[in-house]
């Protein structure tokens, strides 16, 4: 981030972009260009075309020609806490307050300090506004630098490279959903935002919007290894970020996308592709659950004494299998607890 830059101030054009869905992508890029040099980025003529039906395609062609018939240069960047705070306070906060109406509930369960793995249900089949909203609210309430774990496509897919500035996700603290990156970040003792359902969460679509999918046990294993507590969070409202949507799984695989929704809103997206970072208006409510510590849970299973008759190699293999099985059981038990909480909140 360039030093000695004044904070970003909303102009009338920014407020217009906030209330006009095709303008959200303009907000993201203008804010980045205020703090960073972006030689390959969008310009004012192209921003204007975003606002017209089909204009994004012409803007894309003009930018491609301007760059010498090539894609924007991709840069590997590092997490910048200063820019995360600026983006949170100057862009995310107004959107969350006036549009998504985000709020934290049961805040008495929110600890004062990290490190933490914040595990939340994920839905919506759209840009991850439920994650960004929680990261923003936690930052505002506890001044935490929250780092969300995100799918590889949010970093490397060609569409993202054209939509957003180079390294945008990394600079804001995004962590690739790869085991090595996961371990490295946990070793830094930070607050990590994690979706135990993985991509199965948003992929489930509108019909199963309130049903939690199977939890991946990796966060239980790493929580136990590093002694980092898990803070479960239930989000209601994220299912309405892209309502009445179905997932075209076969076409998603062909296009190398995490999901490919089809709904009434997709007709607007075809005319205005810059709406890829937009979502339907909703009320995002985050219900903080009590801390969960996997190492304090007791399971009735085999103990090392049960392996005494085995060879050393076989005993080591069976112990590893036991640990994996235990983590899987704990992950599914936590899923059941959160599912019961969702069912309770929906009834009340």
pLDDT tens digits along 225-254: 888 999 999 999 998 998 888 888 888 788
A 10 A CB-CB count for 132 gives: 24
What class is the 75-347 domain?
A: alpha beta
Query: Per the structure block, which two tokens stand in for 176?
Result: 């690739």
Query: Per the structure block, which two tokens stand in for 324?
Result: 């994996």
Name which of 54, 53, 58 is nearest 42 in CA terms.
58
Q: Please say whether the beta carbons of 347 and 236 come within 8 A.
A: no
pLDDT at residue number 323: 62
3-class DSSP assignment, residue 346: helix
Separation of alpha carbons 211 and 224, rounded Å? 26
Checking DSSP bridges between strand 285-288 and strand 191-194, what pairing results, if any? unpaired
For 310-324, b/e burial (b = at least 16 CB within 10 A) is eeeeeeeeeeeebee
Separation of alpha carbons 319 and 56, rounded Å? 56
pLDDT tens digits along 71-129: 898 777 888 999 999 999 999 999 999 899 999 999 999 998 878 999 999 887 888 89
Q: What is the mean pLDDT of residues 152-159?
A: 69
Provide the β-strand partners of residue 150: 176
Q: What is the mean pLDDT of residues 149-156?
A: 69
pLDDT band at residue 155, thresholds of 50, 70 and 90?
A: low
The model's pTM is 0.87
Separation of alpha carbons 203 and 225, rounded Å? 30
Separation of alpha carbons 245 and 207, rounded Å? 8
Separation of alpha carbons 161 and 72, rounded Å? 7
Q: Please say whether the beta carbons of 172 and 82 come within 8 A.
A: no
Q: Please, which residues have CB within 8 angstroms of residue 158's CB and are 6 or more apart in sequence?
A: 71
Q: What is the mean pLDDT of residues 211-234?
A: 91
Query: Per the structure block, which two tokens stand in for 69?
Result: 């018939």
Q: What is the mean pLDDT of residues 198-208?
A: 82
Q: In the predicted model, is pLDDT for residue 3 greater than 70?
A: no
pLDDT at residue number 93: 92
pLDDT at residue number 156: 67
**Any idea what DSSP says for residue 72?**
P
- Average pLDDT value over all residues in the chain: 86
pLDDT at residue number 187: 63
Checking DSSP bridges between strand 116-120 and strand 230-236, what pairing results, if any? parallel
H or E element, residue 133: helix 129-142
Q: What is the mean pLDDT of residues 281-309?
A: 74
pLDDT tens digits along 23-43: 999 999 999 999 998 889 999
For 332, half-sphere exposure in the C-beta direction (CA atoms, 13 angstrom radius) is: 6
Which burial class, exposed, middle or buried, applies to 296 when counting CB atoms under 10 A from its CB (0-12, 13-18, 19+)? exposed
Q: Please say whether the beta carbons of 103 and 286 come within 8 A.
A: yes
Q: In the predicted model, is pLDDT for residue 300 greater than 50?
A: no
What is the distance, to the nearest Å, from the Cα of residue 311 to the centroid of all Cα atoms in its chain? 45
pLDDT band at residue 312, thresholds of 50, 70 and 90?
A: low
Phi then psi dihedrals of residue 184, to 5 deg: -60, -45
Percent with pLDDT over 70 in the chain = 87
Query: Per the structure block, which two tokens stand in for 42?
Result: 């969008």
pLDDT tens digits along 167-189: 898 899 888 777 677 677 766 65
Q: What is the mean pLDDT of residues 272-284?
A: 92
């Amino acid at each position: 981030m360039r030093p000695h830059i004044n904070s970003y101030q909303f102009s009338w054009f920014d407020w217009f972009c906030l209330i006009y869905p095709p303008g959200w992508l303009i907000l993201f890029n203008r804010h980045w260009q205020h703090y960073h040099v972006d030689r390959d980025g969008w310009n004012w003529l192209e921003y204007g075309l975003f606002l017209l039906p089909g204009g994004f395609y012409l803007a894309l062609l003009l930018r491609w020609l301007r760059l010498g018939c090539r894609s924007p240069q991709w840069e590997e960047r590092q997490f910048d806490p200063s820019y995360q705070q600026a983006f949170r306070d100057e862009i995310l906060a107004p959107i969350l307050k006036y549009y998504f109406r985000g709020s934290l509930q049961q805040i008495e369960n929110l600890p004062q300090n990290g490190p933490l793995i914040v595990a939340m249900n994920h839905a919506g089949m759209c840009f991850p506004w439920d994650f960004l909203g929680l990261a923003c609210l936690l930052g505002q309430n506890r001044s935490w630098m929250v780092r969300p774990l995100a799918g590889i496509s949010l970093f490397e897919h060609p569409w993202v490279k054209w939509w957003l500035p180079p390294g945008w996700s990394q600079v804001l603290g995004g962590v690739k959903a790869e085991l090595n990156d996961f371990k490295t970040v946990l070793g830094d003792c930070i607050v990590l935002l994690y979706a135990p359902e993985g991509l199965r969460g948003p992929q489930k679509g509108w019909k199963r919007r309130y049903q939690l999918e199977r939890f991946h046990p990796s966060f239980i294993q790493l929580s136990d290894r590093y002694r980092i507590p898990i803070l479960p969070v239930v989000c209601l409202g994220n299912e309405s970020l892209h309502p009445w949507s179905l997932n075209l799984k076969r076409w998603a695989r062909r296009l190398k996308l995490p999901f490919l929704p089809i709904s009434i809103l997709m007709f607007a997206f075809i005319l205005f592709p810059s709406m890829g970072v937009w979502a339907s208006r909703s009320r995002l409510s985050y219900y903080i659950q009590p801390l969960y510590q996997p190492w304090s849970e007791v399971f009735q299973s085999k103990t090392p004494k049960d392996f005494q008759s085995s060879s050393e190699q076989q005993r080591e293999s069976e112990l590893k299998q036991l640990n994996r099985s235990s983590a899987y059981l704990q992950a599914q038990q936590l899923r059941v607890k959160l599912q019961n909480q969702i069912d309770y909140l929906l009834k009340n």
